[in-house]
Amino acid sequence: MAHLWTLLLLKQSLTMILEDAVKKATDVRQKVCEWHSPEELKELLDLELRDSGEPEARILERCRDAIRYSVKTTHPHFFNQLYAGLEPYSLVASFITDALKPSLYTYEMSPVFTLMENAVLRKLIQTVGWEEGGDGLFNAGGSMSNMYALNLARYRHFPEIKELGNSAAPRLAVFTSQECHYSISKAAALMGIGTKNVFVVPSDKRGKMTPSALEEQIESVKSEGGVPFMVNATAGTTVLGAFDPIDEIADICEKNKLWLHVDACWGGAVLMSNKHKLLMKGIHRVDSVSWNPHKMLMACLQCSAFLVRDKTHLLQRCHSARASYLFQQDKFYDLSYDTGDKSVQCSRKPDAFKFWLMWKALGTSELEQRVDRALTMARYLADEITKREGFRLVMEPEYANVCFWYIPPSLRDLPDGPEFQEKLHNVAPVVKERMMKKGSMMVGYQPHRGQANFFRMVVISPQVSRQDMDFVLDEIHSLGKDL
């Protein structure tokens, strides 16, 4: 049994976590962040590790400080990333798995979580619409899930690469839109495909890949001796929240015998919604999907599924190393439950449990309502932006990304031109600095396709109300009206 002092420490810590990292962190009257420069923060945290340990009371103080100076991503005014809000059931699951320290390589090590992962994967595969089933696994984030897609697609085309390396392959080419997530290039670099062999397909004004441009690029690469093997389509792009036309892209992939992966890390949640799932029309035709329940569906970080339509154990064949100390072939149970060799990891956290528990508690219908509510709230915000003087939408939102400019009174009479654009470009960074130093909220901004910096609001959490949307616009005006 754990020592009494361990139990006491945990009891005290849990009380503090509930008070500071849960109750206070989600209280709208509290700050979203307490800004300090790295130098100030180093002083405040006293980071040096010493030969002798510190008393427990001091350690609890340190925990309190860690919470205090961290960004409260569960705060109702945190809109900075593609995740937000507190999901209590998945938090309970996180506590349990961290207390138990399971690892998902073999059934003997993680019987419960292996079965739960299988159950969640089955349900997601069904939701994607692969009637004949499929395969998959949960990974440490969407970037990694996308990397799996590249590796699997390459393996299907050139299985000999696993043993012989890249020299066994011709010059391979991947296609993805200009709006895709950067993890596609990172994966290409990591895998030795090379970032120059990631061909960037233009997107239309709404940020959707242009299928005719994809087709032209495939032909052009082929004519130069390259070998196309995969197309990555994005469902819910990072900045604009755009959905690539999956059905049309699937036609092109079928014609050219290319693996079609859909990065639905952000947008996959629309599949839960009868009202919005048409955004991913054609998803049942694709070869693989990445989907992060830790984004729109609010599971605790990290929770990312990689799903594959293949039923020939491609994941296993592509990644297996058959370590004899883990995957003995003469075990006393059904070895198909030893799923670890599908993964490039050895130890792997049972992230699926976080999603399984919340799905059990909320049911599919509440998950669906969550998505619908977020998109209704994004619509409300977009309508408010259209109504208010000094605010301008970059485009009508299709999903939960609402992109807009704030134009301070001093710029409102300037004609649109280089001077106006230059001044507008400087507005969002200053407003962002001010909101962080005040701690009132966090909203992201970025330059995009040569346009002046604009804000990207991400509306996810069911904690968020119309008053919070109004607050964001009022606060941006209040922080930027003198610029």
Binding track, positions 174-213, relative to ligand PLP; x by CB under 6 A: -------x-x------------------------------
Q: Residue 355 Cβ, how far from ligand PLP at the closest point, in Å?
A: 14
Using CB under 6 A as the binding rule, whether residue 265 contacts ligand PLP is answered as: yes
Residue closest to ligand PLP, measured at CB = 142
By beta-carbon proximity to ligand PLP, the closer residue of 77 and 181 is 181
**Total number of residues binding ligand PLP (CB under 6 A)?**
15
By beta-carbon proximity to ligand PLP, the closer residue of 82 and 358 is 82
Both tokens assigned to 103: 């690892």
Using CB under 6 A as the binding rule, whether residue 141 contacts ligand PLP is answered as: yes
Tell which one of 74, 94, 97, 143 touches ligand PLP (CB under 6 A).
143
By beta-carbon proximity to ligand PLP, the closer residue of 238 and 453 is 238
Query: In this chain, which stretch among 109-117, 139-147, 317-325, 424-432 interacts with ligand PLP, using CB under 6 A?
Result: 139-147
Q: Residue 367 Cβ, how far from ligand PLP at the closest point, in Å?
A: 19
Using CB under 6 A as the binding rule, whether residue 73 contacts ligand PLP is answered as: no
Tell which one of 82, 407, 458, 469 touches ligand PLP (CB under 6 A).
82
Tell which one of 292, 339, 343, 453 touches ligand PLP (CB under 6 A).
292
Using CB under 6 A as the binding rule, whether residue 288 contacts ligand PLP is answered as: no
By beta-carbon proximity to ligand PLP, the closer residue of 142 and 340 is 142
Give the span between the Cα atoms of 366 and 358, in whole angstroms: 10
Query: In this chain, which stretch among 99-107, 120-128, 136-144, 212-220 interacts with ligand PLP, using CB under 6 A?
Result: 136-144
By beta-carbon proximity to ligand PLP, the closer residue of 174 and 479 is 174
Query: In this chain, which stretch among 53-61, 231-239, 322-330, 388-396 interacts with ligand PLP, using CB under 6 A?
Result: 231-239
Q: Residue 216 Cβ, how far from ligand PLP at the closest point, in Å?
A: 24
Contacts with ligand PLP by CB under 6 A lie at 82, 141-143, 146, 181, 183, 234, 236, 238, 263, 265-266, 292, 304
